[in-house]
Amino acid sequence: LGMAPPAALLALGLCLSVSHGSFLVPLRIFSGGHNFSLALASDPTGAVNFLDMVDNLRGDSGRGYYIEMSIGTPGQKMNILVDTGSSNFAVAAAPHPFITHFFNTALSTSYRSAGRPVAVRYTQGNWEGELGVDLVSMPTGPNGTVPINIAAILSSDGFFLPDIHWQGILGLAYPLLARPDSSVTPFFDSLVRQLGIPDVFSLQRLAAWMSCDPQMDWICVCVCSQIMGGTEPTLHRGPVWYTPIVEEWYYQVEVLKLEVGDQNLDLDCREYNTDKAIVDSGTTLLRLPVPVFNALVDAITRSSLIQDFSAGFWDGSKLACWMKGETPWRFFPKLSIYLRATNTSESFRITILPQLYIQQITDLDGTLDCFRFGVSSSVNGLVIGATVMEGFYVVFDRAQRRLGFALSTCAASGGLPLSEIAGPFSAADVASNCSGGVLKAPVLWVLSYALIAVCALVLVVLCFFLC
């Protein structure tokens, strides 16, 4: 599944010392100043009040963004990680050294165990537990308390990590990804059916070096929001550009090409979509198939003004450090992703500036600022994760089977935007179906089981004749 608990990425290796003699760039921190005069955009049913949902997320891209939820009777308050790359709603139901509290099913009079085991494995980390049903409400979400399928996490490995502030995960993808099977209705599907809210949600998050948690040391200069049931126009600038959802399991989209600066990587568009291209809020980095990643690193290396970078910086094993207060961002190119538009003969381009993919992580001895590369290679498809999403207000319009991108009001530094959107562009020179021939994992499982059954039948027949 798509979600990778991002705190592990902070445990990076040795710091790469990079010459900074003539490459001195003062760090400018965005100091805010937005006037959040929010429009009251509510659903006529009264179940949705977007004003109540603004600033309902806490956390940061390094440890994940979470929302407060109340589970059981009486309600037990839990912080739940938001993840669009999985479909189970799961919460710790046993003690763990890295979490402060857990959901005690014995104290909830409304909890009912389904008696079914469940296990989920993510890109990093996994957990096991049992399925149940209980009442759930969201203090900063749609009005109402509804029965929801819950996976009670009883054991885990690499899932809960040090310094996190959440105790569970809210999978917002489609039923096809639910475990142990698609009969387990995901949280948002239940919310739409039982409360009658529109089948749309949207997310606004911050750049890696910002935070939406007042308890953390980093300055909180903007709001982080998950709007359930629609979109809030004050959280974005300009229009929303939409791309079709190719398959309803992950939020799979169709990537047509990538550019480094003005340089097209010039790969077959099917390379970008092997074995899928998805938008996943639970993945920290922009993840690219190996051939695409290698081509992108080569292009950045050629266009960057900084020479002799260690390979360890590109593969994530090392950090690059400059004297405190200096930044390397002006010496790196923009990165652009072209997505198929809803008018399939056209595309649009989402662009992130280096501040989003050359990410400031920590300081060293109070004298150096250290940065990581916010892009990694992937063996299971292209993932548009937090590195890109933090530049945009992202709309998951499930009702019309499309994903939207608009410029986030928070994607700025020193008053300058960190992201761009442009289009439409003609897609006449691109294949009509760049994601064609890609099989979803469940389909592969079915084919595998069918082949096993055929082999078993052949063995039975052979044994019969041998006997």
- Under 8 Å between Cβ of 282 and 84: yes
Reply yes or no on whether 268 is catalytic.
no
Within 8 A by CB and 6+ apart from 181, the residues are: none
How many other C-beta atoms are found inside a 10 Å radius of the C-beta of residue 305? 11
3-state class (DSSP) for residue 282: coil
Reply yes or no on whether 280 is catalytic.
yes
Q: Which of 43, 60, 280, 397 is catalytic?
A: 280
Question: ∠ CA(31), CA(203), CA(283), 5° rounding?
Answer: 95
358-364 vs 346-352, strand pairing mode: unpaired
CA separation for the pair 141, 449 (Å, rounded)? 41
Within 8 A by CB and 6+ apart from 46, the residues are: 143
Within 8 A by CB and 6+ apart from 64, the residues are: 5, 6, 7, 81, 82, 164, 166, 282
Q: In what order do the strands lie in the sheet with 402-408?
A: 225-228, 200-204, 392-397, 402-408, 236-244
Q: Which of 43, 60, 83, 134 is catalytic?
A: 83
Q: Which helix (H) or strand (E) holds 441?
A: helix 441-466
The tokens describing 255, both together, are 């990537």
Whole-number Cα distances in Å, 16 to 22, 303, 316, 342, 355: 17, 20, 11, 44, 19
Task: List active site positions.
Answer: 83, 280
